[in-house]
Amino acid sequence: MLTIDDSLVQWSRPADARAGSPLLVLLHGVGSNEHDLMGLAPGLPDTWTLASLRAPLQHGPGFGWYPLGEPGSPDLAPVDDAVEAVLAWIDRVAAAHGRVALLGFSQGGSMALQLLRARPGAFAAVVSLSGFVVPGVTDDRDEAVSRARPRVFLGHGDRDPVIPPSATARTSVWAAAHTDVVERTYAGLGHGVAGEELSDVAAFLGS
């Protein structure tokens, strides 16, 4: 069973300053670690307490949420195993926070959207940057997402060499059908986060 190591979570606030603040959970990309997305903190609204998690699987010198498969189309079961681990961690800390939102990059972006599928009404907002929606879901999860119409931000570059265009297109169609989505494509951006994109995310989270 996968678990999130509490001792490795990076927080933007000390423990005695978190109570009652909204929580933004950060989910890094494959091969990275819990320190990576904390670099976005200066550009995000300081009303949020940030918590950056380390993915539970070793991947080279870094970590991943699930094994890599076909780009943009991983096997569903390992993704859902990782989702359960993150949900268990959120359940341990959520009571101290008024709202919970998710922000993921690349593989972490796919995790953010899969977490939304698992609990459509649980998150104040979901941000997926250079991510994608995982294919192969055949149960009623997406119907529940449609009923909840959660707020979602999708951001991606038009020169991303990592996420296949077919996965990006699939995600756009899914989000438009099931969520209240804001989608932005950034000209000239590869597989990364641009300054303009971070400003758009900050505005989205602040609204």
Number of independent structural domains in the chain: 1
Is 90 exceeded by the pLDDT of residue 126?
A: yes
71, part of any domain:
yes
Structure tokens at 194: 């641009």
Measured CA distances, 48 to 17, 32, 105 (Å): 11, 23, 18
Task: Compute the distance between CA of residue 27 and CA of residue 1 in angstroms, rounded to an integer.
Answer: 19
CATH number of the structural domain spanning residue 86: 3.40.50.1820
Task: Compute the distance between CA of residue 30 and CA of residue 66 in angstroms, rounded to an integer.
Answer: 8
Beta bridge partners of 156: 185
- The pLDDT, as a whole number, for residue 207 is 87
Model confidence, pTM = 0.97
Beta bridge partners of 138: none
1, part of any domain:
no
Is 90 exceeded by the pLDDT of residue 143?
A: yes
Q: For residue 120, name the pLDDT band (cuts at 50, 70, 90).
A: very high
49, part of any domain:
yes
| Buried b / exposed e along 25-38 (16+ C-beta atoms within 10 A) | bbbbbbbbbbebbb
Host domain of residue 157: 6-206
